[in-house]
Structure 1
């Protein structure tokens, strides 16, 4: 439940950056936005991994109290 917003944000960036229409993908490459969408996707997934690890630690610490 805690990671849902980050997951949805990453999915939205992934969908916009890799929309399966050839003209859209060529436009992203031509304008230079493809690298930005790729970087945003990587950043979102990396933050998601950190968030999951911290949440596991938080829940474990709460159970051990």
Structure 2
């Protein structure tokens, strides 16, 4: 829950920064870029995990996860 709360805070901060930029003020777009990239990677990891779990039998997934 703490992670989700912090992720929501980061998202809110990004949206506030975008709003500030729309007011013609300078912002650090590297921060926003890093946040967006982290969300993309997180989503990709979730999709890969789901894909792997759908193909693997439950008896083999634990041993394969330990190897990575």
Q: TM-score, normalised by structure 1?
A: 0.55
Distance 1:9 1:41, change over 3 A: farther
Which structure is higher in RCO with an 8 Å CA cutoff and minimum separation 6?
A: 1
Instruction: Tell me how large the CA RMSD over aligned residues is.
Output: 2.7
Shift of 1:15: 2.3
* Pairing 1:40-59 to 2, within 5 Å after superposition: 40-59=31-50
1:12-33 superposed Cα distances (whole Å, 9 cap, x missing partner): 12222133584xx64xx4xxxx
Distance of 2:16 and 2:37 partners within structure 1: 19
1:2-57 superposed Cα distances (whole Å, 9 cap, x missing partner): xxx34x344312222133584xx64xx4xxxx12xx21111010011111111111
Q: TM-score, normalised by structure 2?
A: 0.54
Long gaps (5+) in structure 2:
57-68
